[in-house]
Amino acid sequence: MFQRILIANRGEIALRVIRACRELGVTSVVVFSEADRGASYLEEADRAICIGAGPSAESYLNIPRIIAAAEVADVQAIHPGYGFLSENPEFAEICRSCGFEFIGPSHDSIRRMGLKTEAKIVANKAKVPCVPCSDGPVDSETEAQALATKIGFPVLIKAAAGGGGKGMRVVRDAEGFLAAYRTARAEAEAAFRNPSVYLERYLDNPRHIEVQLLADQHGHVVHCWERDCTVQRRHQKLVEESPSPVVPEAVRTKICESAVRLAKAVNYHNAGTCEFLYDPATQEFFFIEVNARIQVEHPVTELVTGLDLIKWQIRIAAGEKLTLKQSEIKRHGHAIECRINCEDPGANFRPSPGTVSRMVVPGGPGVRWDSHVVAGYRVPTNYDSMVGKLLVHADTREEAIRRMSRALREIKLDGIATTIPFHRLLMQDEQFRSGEYDTTWLEREFMPRNRDRLGS
């Protein structure tokens, strides 16, 4: 096992990794930027090293400074968390060539899975169903137009270098295609400095179902069941749960087995997630992408399986064998996660950084609060707006929803606008409770219906 690990991330995920290290008896060293100086989670690590100014490019995305911190602290491995450099194959490669184990998959798997079109080619070979799509980026207008017609409308134009729900455009018919294609390329260039786009069939009422994977460096791969992340706004997840309320048992097994086949096809190791879209009407599922890192919503899986995914990431990176057999990974009860963002749901989810004046942490049976926030904490403007994740676990979905409502009532995070009022309304919503909705339901129906009640 490693003696010392560097955590190249911030906020709640840095704290999550610090906690895993503490329980494993591994010394943790966390990096921080000037914008995070004085944050209380830094005290939980054994050592904290300032690597630069607030802007990510000068700190959390700055590879030379992170490597220098790893050298100074004399660590054996680097945990990238999620976001920032976690899916950057160059970073993984540089870590390893500088003698630090990268706590994640090989740079080769990250590279192959990071290119969405390449990932789909691998998926096809592994007999994992994919949405009909172009073979790769489509850079000529005539070719794109012809392909769109072949794939069939509605078509989704996706930025090849996109992510986090950004860089997508739906086109309903052939007439509007060319204009949308040009705009999509210009947007991709502006956002990702890469104009490449590819085309994919747009599914109209899908669910987002993803499978958690764990794989060691000795070829053993298991799945830890699925998460349902259908509650989304602008293709970004707001609530995740497990098990999915709509996937029948036989389909669940098929989806999970597909994810394992895909991981084996790329010699994947460490933790990862295979994402699918699912059509409840036809029970068909389609692979969309692999996230070659730990995800925000991993605790949902931890609650239903009892596994500690971060500890497994560390053990696997240290070369240990994954001692779990597939048949030993059981599901118990139901878990739900609400992402608490400092955004004003009454003002179109506008970011609302500021200082937290009061923080009352919810507790009691089956409640988990993963957050670095304390009273007096000033939310920096430089980073993502998520300030915490509220999770519950109960025997059934209905009990989990009641428990979440209770915890959302208890939590007090004052001084800044947050998504807490939104989640309170969602938990009371009849349709959410019925479990039947799709990835655009929130914006299409829930938000218009609740606009007045969320008004600030």
Q: Number of residues in contact with ligand ADP, rule: CB under 6 A? A: 20
The only residue of 181, 198, 202, 446 in contact with ligand ADP, by rule CB under 6 A:
202
Under rule CB under 6 A, residue 200 binds ligand ADP: yes
- At its nearest, how many Å lie between ligand ADP and the CB of residue 439? 4
Under rule CB under 6 A, residue 411 binds ligand ADP: no
Backbone angles phi, psi at 328, to 5 degrees: -90, -10
Q: Which of 130, 192, 147 is nearest to 167 (CA)?
A: 192
Residues whose CB is less than 8 angstroms from the CB of residue 27 and which lie 6 or more positions away in sequence, other chains included:
3, 4, 5, 21, 46, 47
Window contacting ligand ADP (CB under 6 A); options: 9-17, 184-192, 201-209, 219-227: 201-209
Determine which one of 185, 233, 252, 293 is catalytic.
293
- Chain CA centroid to CA 297, Å: 6
The only residue of 10, 65, 107, 208 in contact with ligand ADP, by rule CB under 6 A:
208
What are the angstrom distances between the C-alpha of 304 and each of 112, 144, 216, 427? 30, 44, 21, 20
The only residue of 275, 343, 370, 384 in contact with ligand ADP, by rule CB under 6 A:
275
- At its nearest, how many Å lie between ligand ADP and the CB of residue 279? 10
Interatomic CA distance for residues 210 and 271, integer angstroms? 13
Under rule CB under 6 A, residue 203 binds ligand ADP: yes
Q: Which residue has the tokens 């994947």?
A: 268
Nearer to ligand ADP, 101 or 200 (CB): 200
Nearer to ligand ADP, 32 or 84 (CB): 84
Q: Which of 432, 414, 416, 436 is nearest to 424 (CA)?
A: 432
In what helix (H) or strand (E) does residue 329 lie, and over which residues does it extend? none
Nearer to ligand ADP, 109 or 439 (CB): 439
Under rule CB under 6 A, residue 162 binds ligand ADP: yes
Q: SS3 for 48?
A: strand
Interatomic CA distance for residues 401 and 336, integer angstroms? 8
Under rule CB under 6 A, residue 408 binds ligand ADP: no
Interatomic CA distance for residues 424 and 13, integer angstroms? 24
- At its nearest, how many Å lie between ligand ADP and the CB of residue 121? 16
Under rule CB under 6 A, residue 311 binds ligand ADP: no
DSSP per position, 182-235: HHHHHHHHHHHS---EEEEEPPSS-EEEEEEEEE-TTS-EEEEEEEEEEEEETT
The only residue of 235, 311, 378, 402 in contact with ligand ADP, by rule CB under 6 A:
235
Active site includes 172?
no
Question: Contact at 8 Å (CB) between 3 and 76?
Answer: yes
Window contacting ligand ADP (CB under 6 A); options: 9-17, 25-33, 161-169, 415-423: 161-169
Interatomic CA distance for residues 252 and 236, integer angstroms? 23
Under rule CB under 6 A, residue 115 binds ligand ADP: no
Under rule CB under 6 A, residue 244 binds ligand ADP: no
- At its nearest, how many Å lie between ligand ADP and the CB of residue 422? 18
Window contacting ligand ADP (CB under 6 A); options: 39-47, 85-93, 172-180, 194-202: 194-202
Among all residues, which ones are annotated catalytic? Answer: 293
* Chain residues that interact with ligand ADP, rule: CB under 6 A: 131, 156, 162-166, 200-203, 206, 208, 232, 235, 275, 277, 288-289, 439
